[in-house]
A and B are shown apart, each in its own frame.
Chain A
Amino acid sequence: SYELTQPPSVSVSPGQTARITCSGDLLPKQYAYWYQQRPGQAPVLLIYKDTERPSGIPERFSGSSSGTTVTLTISGVQAEDEADYYCQSSDSSGSYVFGTGTKVTVL
């Protein structure tokens, strides 16, 4: 089955930049999406179609894509950004697949 691989954890100091990668063989052909999930809360859409940001999402969140890897960048990390982050895309059959998840810790 298709897998989207993310690093289990990323640690970053306040004000620094965090980068979270998501790797999958079909990413050059399918869009990727990113979600933030704070402890005890439902996921929130952060990025759609690789790089687009929904209204209401702070500009410090950005997405990029290169080959089989997409990246979520959090610039000027704040304490409130401590959360789990998931990428999402689709496999060849059209089923939706989530990444393995990355826990971001703000030091």
Chain B
Amino acid sequence: EVQLVESGGGLVQPGRSLRLSCAASGFTFDDYAMHWVRQVPGKALEWVSGITWNSGYAGYADSVKGRFTISRDNAKNSLYLQMNSLRAEDTALYYCARCSSLEVVPAAYFDYWGQGTLVTVYS
């Protein structure tokens, strides 16, 4: 059974940093690209970032480019999101999602999701 378990969320002040983790199990982790998707409670989903199976390429939404860094450790079956210079508008539930493809390509989608970890940026 595919399982994705996020952790690392919490309360943080604007301008500070936070690192999210996603522990994967139940599948061969390095056979898939992985993504982060966020959702402000009551609002729509927003893609944040994705990384290829071998970390060869990482893509970011314009809203986080230059502030967030996605990475993965295939030996540990883990995905990460380093979030720097956090803003109030980054407050959201952050989901880890498995990609349908090895690569971060347009014709790809998210076939399994974790339960999310909540990030609250407050002043």
Question: Which A residues are within 8 Å of any B CB, using their own CB?
Answer: 1, 30-31, 33, 35, 37, 41-45, 48-49, 54, 86, 88, 90, 94-101
Contacts and interface: CB of A to CB of B under 8 A. Distances in A.
A101 B111 CA distance: 18
A43 B109 CA distance: 12
Interface residues of B, number: 26
Given A90-B106, A94-B104, A95-B59, A43 B44 contact: no
B22 to A, nearest CB: 12
A31 B107 contact: yes
Interface in B36-91: 37, 43-47, 50, 59, 61-62
Given A44-B113, A86-B45, A88-B109, 19 more contacts: A1-B62, A31-B107, A33-B109, A35-B110, A41-B115, A42-B113, A43-B95, A45-B109, A48-B100, A48-B111, A88-B45, A90-B107, A94-B104, A94-B105, A94-B106, A95-B62, A98-B47, A100-B44, A101-B44
15 contacts: A33-B110, A35-B110, A41-B115, A43-B45, A43-B113, A54-B111, A86-B45, A88-B45, A90-B106, A94-B105, A98-B37, A98-B44, A98-B45, A100-B44, A101-B44
